Structure 1
Amino acid sequence: MSFPTAVNSQITDAVTQANTKVVGEAPAMAMSTLYQAMAHSTGILYQNAALAQQQQNTLAQAAATQGIMQLYNVDTMAGAAATEKVAQAGVSDNLASLLAVLQAMQNNK
């Protein structure tokens, strides 16, 4: 109980109980705020991980597409070069050119 004052004792008692309630709830409120912050941080962590996976998948698809395009272009260019050499030369030159292209292809492997 408090010292006698000009304020009614019931009012003093009510204020004291309210202050005690606030002090008693402080640890629980602090922990709930901490749990909420941790849950929010974990959610952002998972969102960043999913975004990084999506970006890596996009990069992998782009790299695969570029590799396939290069493979197709190499074959097309080699075939075009061989056709041009054969078309521009005579019959004897055609055989020599074809042999040179085949040897060059074999050496490149």
Structure 2
Amino acid sequence: MAFPTAVNNQITDSVTQANVQVLGTSPAIAMGNLYQATAQALANAAHNATMAQQQMFVTAQAVTTMGVALLYSLDTASTGLSTKTILGGGG
């Protein structure tokens, strides 16, 4: 309890105990805030990784489609050029 003052001792003791309680719970609250902030940051990192993976798959699918279209067009172009050469009598 605090030293005797002009204020009622019960009031002084109540305020002192409240201050001690705040100081006692501060480390636990600080650690809770740290854990919550860390969890939020990790969740954001996982979300960003998922979005990047989805975008990569979309790009890979577009590249595959264009590659297959190019392979099909090469055969058509070479066939057309050879047909023109044979039928046209030259290049």
Would you call these one fold, judging by a TM-score over 0.5? yes
Number of aligned pairs?
Answer: 90
TM-score normalised by structure 2 residue count: 0.89
Residue deviations 1:52-99 (CA, integer Å, cap 9, x gap): 11121122112211211110111011111122223324xxxxxxx7xx
Identity over aligned pairs, percent: 48
How far residue 48 of structure 1 moved from its aligned partner, in angstroms, is 1.2
Give the secondary structure class of the aligned counterpart of 2:3. Answer: coil
Alpha-carbon distance in 2 for matches of 1:73, 1:37: 54
Alpha-carbon distance in 2 for matches of 1:82, 1:5: 110
Q: Which runs of 5+ in 1 are unaligned?
A: 90-96, 98-109
Q: Which amino acid aligns with 2:24?
A: G
Partner of 1:105: none
Q: Which amino acid aligns with 2:4?
A: P
Alpha-carbon distance in 1 for matches of 2:56, 2:50: 10
Give the secondary structure class of the aligned counterpart of 2:74. Answer: helix
Q: Which runs of 5+ in 2 are unaligned?
A: none
Partner of 1:57: 57
Give the secondary structure class of the aligned counterpart of 1:46. Answer: helix
How far residue 14 of structure 1 moved from its aligned partner, in angstroms, is 0.6
Counterparts of 1:15-94 in structure 2 under 5 Å?
A: 15-89=15-89
Give the secondary structure class of the aligned counterpart of 2:7. Answer: coil
Q: Which amino acid aligns with 2:80?
A: A
TM-score normalised by structure 1 residue count: 0.76
Residue deviations 1:3-58 (CA, integer Å, cap 9, x gap): 22111111101100100110110111011001101110110110011011112112
1:6 aligns with 2:6: yes
Q: Which amino acid aligns with 2:18?
A: A
